[in-house]
Amino acid sequence: MNYDHIGQMITIKIAEYGDNLALRYKVNNCWATLTYREFGEQIRRLACGMIKAGVKKGDSVGIFSANRYEWAVTDFACILVGAISVPIYATNTKEQAQFIINDARIKLIFAGNDIQYQNLAAIRSEGIPLQVVIYETGLQIDTSFTTPFSNFMNVEDQSEYISEMNHRSGQIKIDDVTTIIYTSGTTGNPKGVMLSHGNLFHQFEAVDANFNVTSADTSLCFLPLSHVYERMWSYYVYLKGATHTYLEDPKKVIETMQEIKPTAMVSVPRLYEKIYASVMNSQENASGLKKFLFNRAIVVGTQYNNRSFRNQPTGLGLSIKHKFYDLLVLSKVRAAVGGKKNFFSAGGAPLEKTIEEFFLACGLLICQGYGLTETSPMVSYNTPNNFKFGTVGKLVPNCEVRIANNGEIQVKGPQVMKGYFNNKAATAEAIVDGWFNTGDIGEFDEDGYLKITDRIKDLIITSGGKNIAPLNIETLVGKDFYIEQIIAIGDKRNFISALVVPAFESLEAWAHKKKIQFQNNEELINHPHVIDFFRERIDHHSQKLAQYETIKKFKLLSKPFTMEAGEITPTLKLKRKQINEKFKALIDSMYQKH
């Protein structure tokens, strides 16, 4: 990459793509747009506002908001004035936000809506001298410490500030810190990962090497921008002059995909799991003919697309059959996600091989990869020209991986973070002689593809001495249409059990159909027919597991695991220790002999 820093990159791209469409965002249920030139104007105005407000080079500036175009404007403005952006998940509690604000020494912070604003007001009332800029309009705010976004940007004589911005921008080095991204903290307080411009440029080169993204592409930004995966991808979208669509409410992802028809995007496996579960569930109640056609379509689609995507000849007979089944069945699955894609990407958690194969049969390639916040994020990836389902692909260019004696994946390369902010001890523990200890267990297969087994800290060791990867169990069973969340349990115990949160909307519909009477979720989960129903479904999905890995007993929960209760992280990872402690009595009851 021939850029010194990301601020320089976006400045060049704004000039290059001027009148091209840069982004879309919703205003009162209608799509509003900005061209690259208009986007650049907003970034410049905000940078002037930051300098006027006293932001210095190296200052930490917080962004506490869901996805919206102002998020990106703020991020780029921070870079151009030499500040360091520190994202906070929109869903973080007051206490979680307060920890990051204190640790990163944030004085100026941008808030999305009233929920984030009230949390910041409460933090400020405890003596932390925050200055707040609010994106949402029409809210009741305390103007003694809060400024509306549009007012903050409204700098009349910009020339002096633009001169200062250009001076600072010219001094930024490729090794300078771009952002501090706090880990989700599954096992304690989050740590601030310092990523440099160079770290991120390595990632852009890795995408460039194996993916074809151009200014004709459209992307949907629905994963939190506070997550390194969406953040890196968003930078890359602008590097390519493509169009980015900001979705504030991730629950609307499927309807938005159908509306804007993205050609490339990144996601976590949960989106694909839900689409797959919904399609498979619809087949359970379909007529015999529809089931037959669907099953044939998947068989033909698998044969055709495995050849087509690998640039192998498909043959006339198979092509004709595929055209028939594609028109009748497969195109309808693609329509549900907004039509054809150059590629989908998946990361952040394992995606079950069956789901990857199903999507390919429908003409949609999911390129699963692996990485961490500390590696900017990508370590390995499947690509359109080189993919193997059930793996997280081959190493990205210019990256080394070795497997330690205990099976831990260790990474060395230009994508490895500069360290943890304000935490030398944790940095020294994580990076030894240039090798980053990921905490993940994995192995390479005979073709050089990487497979992830589990997290070292998550491994279950039963009282019988069996080492069991709970993530594998949860991935296989958790893809069920009627399961929203699942945690496998069994450390130091004699068999595997599980706590299961049903997908209540789907379960209630099933219960009404079966004429099951219930007043609330508690009654529903304790009904014998419901328990039997889940037993069957869990057993059905457990067929690939070894006998000692199967779930012998389970309990259904009436409420989902939440961030507020400290049970999951903002990236929806389970906090196993906390869940095991909180539900100890219920878990113990599954191990009592009756």
Please check whether residue 36 lies inside any domain of the structure. Answer: yes
447 in any annotated domain: no
Instruction: Please report the pLDDT score of residue 167 as a whole number.
Output: 97
Q: What is the pLDDT along the chain (594 residues), one digit of tens a residue?
A: 789 999 999 999 999 999 999 999 999 989 999 999 999 999 999 999 999 999 999 999 999 999 999 999 999 999 999 999 999 999 988 999 999 999 999 999 999 999 999 999 999 999 999 999 999 999 999 999 999 999 999 998 999 999 999 999 999 999 999 999 999 766 678 899 999 999 999 999 999 999 999 999 999 999 999 999 999 999 999 999 999 999 999 989 999 999 999 999 999 998 999 999 999 999 988 899 999 999 999 999 999 999 999 999 999 999 999 999 999 999 999 999 999 999 899 998 889 999 999 999 999 999 999 999 999 999 999 999 999 999 999 999 999 999 999 999 999 999 999 999 999 999 999 999 999 999 999 999 999 999 998 889 898 999 888 889 999 999 999 999 999 999 999 999 999 999 999 999 999 999 999 999 999 999 999 999 999 999 999 999 999 999 999 999 999 999 999 988 989 988 788 999 999 999 999 999 999 975
Report CA Rg, the chain: 25
In a domain, 92, yes or no: yes
The string of pLDDT tens digits covering residues 179-229 is 999 997 666 788 999 999 999 999 999 999 999 999 999 999 999 999 999
Place of tokens 């200055």: 131
Q: Which residues of 6-26 are buried (b: 16+ CB within 10 A; e: fewer)?
A: bbbbbbebbeebeebbbbbbb
DSSP bridge pairs for 63: 87, 110
Assign 348 to helix, strand or coil: coil
* Residue 203 and residue 113 in contact, taking contact as beta carbons nearer than 8 Å: no
Token look-up 């050609």 returns: 263
Is residue 492 included in any domain, yes or no?
yes
Partners of 320 in the β-ladder: none
Q: Is 142 strand, coil or helix?
A: coil
Of 235, 266, 297, which marks where a domain is finished? Answer: 266
Domain boundary among 243, 266, 289: 266
Q: At what angle do helices 228-239 and 197-210 cross, to 10 degrees?
A: 70
Whichever domain contains 488, its CATH number is 3.30.300.30
Its domain, for residue 575, covers 459-590
Q: Note the pLDDT tens digit of each residue in 227-286.
A: 999 999 999 999 999 999 999 999 899 999 999 999 999 999 989 999 999 999 999 888
Would the pTM of this model clear 0.75, i.e. be above it? yes
Task: Flag whether 371 is in a domain.
Answer: no
Q: What's the pLDDT score for residue 343?
A: 87
CATH code, 116: 3.40.50.12780
Q: Which residue bears the tokens 């999305």? A: 112
In a domain, 365, yes or no: no
Residue 42 falls within a domain, yes or no? yes
End-to-end CA distance of the chain: 66
Domain assignment present for 547: yes
Q: What type of residue is 220? A: L
Average per-residue pLDDT for the chain: 95
pLDDT digit string (tens) for 1-16?
789 999 999 999 999 9
The predicted pLDDT at position 187 comes to: 63
**Cα distance between residue 7 and residue 351, in whole Å:** 34
153: left (phi over 0), alpha (psi -120 to 50) or beta: alpha
Please give the tally of structural domains in the chain: 2
Give 23-62 pLDDT, tens digit per residue: 999 999 899 999 999 999 999 999 999 999 999 999 999 9
Can you give the pLDDT at residue 477? 96
